[in-house]
Amino acid sequence: MKELANKPLLTSLLLALPLWLIFDNFVVGAILGLLAGFFITMCISLHRLKHAPNPPTQTSSSMKPNAEVTTIPTPAGLPALEANSAAHYQNVVAAIQEKLRQQPDCFITFETYMELALYAPGLGYYVAGSQKFPNPDAPGDFTTAPELTPVYGRAVAQQIAQVLRLSGSNHVLEFGAGSGALAFSIITALREMGIEPQYTIIEVSAELRERQGERLNKLEADVQWRDNLPRRFEGCVVANEVLDAMPVSVFRWDENGQLMEKGVTLGTPFSWAERPASQELAETISSRMPPLPGYTSEVNLRAEAWVGSLGQWLQKGAAIIIDYGFPRHEYYHPQRVQGTLMCHFRHHAHAEPLVYAGLQDITAHVDFTAIADAALKAKLDVLGYTSQARFLINTGFVNQLAQTTETDALDQARLMASAQTLLSEAEMGELFKVMVLGREIDPPLIGFERGDRRHRL
């Protein structure tokens, strides 16, 4: 849902009200209102894409990075910082600038910058306690699929239940559980299917741990938190929007066909710079795409390493990976010339990661071909790959939606809007993909009975 941070759902609902009166039918009014709101959304999105500024790029023909200072403008429309946020931002900037001054060439790779901005102890976006998900007191920065409707988690739970039965386990391990909404829906649904899960969460944010605990304590379930990976595990692993937040390397092919690695240097407060890529990075990228002068993109080697570690401790079971991304031939498509980096701040999406360090989320789409290759290298099976829409339909989302009893007209409209967001090809239904990796699990899995796309990887 981070990619859809600016969807004017309120517009759809407001349009539904007069249409309801005209047609004297709420359902017709709601549907027409949602369609009108969706059309307005697409127009706004196309306008923003057309007029969005590209990050400035610098070139260098030597191993020393080009350190020319270029002012990075704050994207238009972002909310102003209140006093506490501004103070925290200055602390993060000071820490990263100190890191830069410690380097002989005053240069750090973008991967290092992203790690500091997101995960620096006490400062990074994910560890410093900022409000990421919406609640009654604060809007947060983005909304993920589990926040839209509990029906989403109940559908995912159908696939989890099958994995647990096939692995002979009741253990569920979730990475980065966010607000706890997905865990709440999964535990509730598994109980209804006769499974009392032992639920473990790996969470780096103390603030999110507290929020998850407040929500999940109501269930009186067996829920535990841990900081590190298990030595061995049997059961089902869940990773919803986890890989996209792992630090990535950013590269650019220069006009001579040489691969450059992009990084950060001192500016106001930071500036883009670049240097020739290492031999290892150059070989990796050259094996995945041809040289395209001026082309900028990313590679997520940490996500691939995460899959490699999964192969070491997953003894029997499967990992359900849900994230936005593409197979490699789409990820490195010649027309995707600026890559997929995206930032989210107070429900505003933009493409400039060098502003608001420590205050905004920074993400990149997932190359699912690379994830599948890493799984095979780790001796894991790729058990399925499809769109989120197809996965949810296969796991009974539509049937469970029909069983939902919402009597209030506004609640019905919200439920319809959530279903459209999750299933529509123009929204999360196609942008988000689901991949399941496993060991000693016999397919087929119910989430991929129809529409399996492994052949497209």
Which candidate, 309, 440, 328, places its Cα nearest to that of 381? Answer: 440
Instruction: Give me the pLDDT at residue 403, please.
Output: 86
User: Phi/psi of residue 301, each to 5°?
Assistant: -70, -25
- C-alpha separations of 421 from 1, 18, 146, 348, 428 in Å: 9, 23, 12, 17, 6
Q: How far is the C-alpha of 453 from the C-alpha of 161, rounded, in Å?
A: 22
Supply the pLDDT for residue 73: 75
pLDDT of residue 2: 55
266-292 pLDDT, tens digit each? 998 999 999 999 999 999 999 999 999
- pLDDT number for residue 140: 62
The per-residue pLDDT for range 113-164, each reduced to its tens digit, is: 999 999 999 999 999 866 555 555 555 676 899 999 999 999 999 999 999 9
How confident is the model over 221-237, as a mean pLDDT? 97
Rounded to the nearest integer, the mean pLDDT of the chain is 87
For tokens 């936005």, name the residue.
324
How much is the pLDDT for 269? 94
Measured in whole angstroms, how far is the alpha carbon of residue 353 from the centre of its chain?
A: 15
Please check the confidence at residue 14 and state whether its pLDDT lies above 60. no
Give the model's pLDDT for residue 50.
Answer: 42
Predicted local distance difference test score (pLDDT) of residue 141: 73
Lowest mean pLDDT among 53-67, 168-182, 307-321, 364-378: 53-67
pLDDT at position 154, please? 97
Tokens in use for 158?
């159908």
Predicted confidence band of residue 37 (pLDDT cuts 50, 70, 90): low
Kindly report, residue by residue over 71-90, the tens digit of the pLDDT: 577 887 899 899 999 999 99
Q: Confidence band (pLDDT; 50, 70, 90) for 68?
A: very low
Paired tokens of 424: 């529509």
Question: Kind of pairing, strands 270-276 and 249-253?
Answer: unpaired
What does 313-363 look like in DSSP terms, one character per residue?
A: HEEEEEEEEEEEEE-HHHHT-TT-TT---EEEETTEEES-TTSSTTTSEEE
3-state class of 307 per DSSP?
Answer: helix
The mean per-residue pLDDT over the stretch 57-70 comes to 48
Which residues have CB under 8 Å from 391's CB, separation 6+? 159, 434, 447, 448
- Cα 332 to Cα 274: distance, rounded to the nearest angstrom: 20
Whether residue 424 contacts residue 294, with contact meaning beta carbons closer than 8 Å, is answered with no
Stretch among 56-70, 196-210, 337-351, 384-398 having the lowest mean pLDDT: 56-70
Whole-number pLDDT of residue 76: 79
The answer to whether residue 8 scores a pLDDT higher than 70 is no
Q: Give the confidence band of 1 by pLDDT, cuts at 50, 70, 90.
A: low
Higher local confidence (pLDDT), 25 or 433: 433
The answer to whether the bond into 79 is cis (omega within 30° of 0) is no
375 pLDDT band, cuts 50/70/90, is very high
Task: Record the pTM.
Answer: 0.85
pLDDT score of 411: 86
* Strand locations in 79-184 (E): 108-109, 171-175
pLDDT digits (tens, 9 = 90+) for 405-431: 767 888 888 999 999 999 999 999 999
Q: Are strands 222-226 and 314-326 parallel, antiparallel or unpaired?
A: unpaired
The model's confidence at residue 36, banded by pLDDT at 50, 70 and 90, is low
| pLDDT of 13 strictly over 60 | no
User: What is the separation of C-alpha 71 from the centre of its chain, rounded to a whole number of angstroms?
Assistant: 28
**pLDDT above 50: residue 372:** yes
